[in-house]
């Protein structure tokens, strides 16, 4: 579920994602249910990066997703990069003065 807050600063959140996970990652990815794949979105929802084979785009590699009613939980899917996710959550909390809990799903 995307961040539902009206005052969510998408570009600032995306800058934090790029800082902690790498410049190719973005939070402007969302699930397109009719197509059954992840596509570029307009509001922060899923953290991922474009997946390419040679030069052809082949969807997104998803590493996490904002969940719950207001997006106050970050579900993270990479056990081996928990420290990056923890650093992201801590900086998010201090930058936005909002709660964000980390839930690692192996």
Indicate the domain borders of the chain: 10-104
pLDDT tens digit sequence for 80-96: 889 999 999 999 999 98
Sheet holding 56-67, edge to edge: 37-40, 26-32, 46-53, 56-67, 73-76, 101-104
Q: What's the rounded Cα separation, in Å, for the pair 23 and 102?
A: 21
pTM recorded for the entire structure: 0.86
Partnered with residue 101 across adjacent β-strands are: 73
Q: What is the pLDDT of residue 1?
A: 46
Partnered with residue 1 across adjacent β-strands are: none
If you average pLDDT over residues 1-12, what whole number do you get? 66
pLDDT tens digit sequence for 21-74: 999 999 999 988 888 889 998 888 999 999 888 888 888 999 999 987 667 899
pLDDT tens digit sequence for 71-82: 789 999 998 889
Asked if the model's pLDDT at residue 104 lies above 80, the reply is yes
Task: List, in order, residues 6 or more apart from 97 with CB less than 8 Å away.
Answer: none
């Amino acid at each position: 579920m995307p961040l539902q807050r009206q005052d969510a600063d998408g570009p600032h959140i995306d800058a934090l994602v790029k800082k902690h996970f790498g410049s190719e990652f973005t939070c402007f990815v969302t699930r397109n249910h009719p197509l059954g794949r992840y596509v570029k979105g307009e509001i922060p929802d899923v953290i991922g990066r474009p997946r390419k084979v040679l030069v052809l785009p082949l969807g997104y590699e998803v590493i996490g997703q904002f969940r719950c009613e207001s997006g106050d939980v970050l579900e993270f899917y990479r056990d081996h990069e928990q420290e990056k996710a923890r650093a992201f959550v801590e900086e998010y909390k201090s930058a936005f003065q909002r709660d964000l809990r980390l839930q690692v799903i192996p």
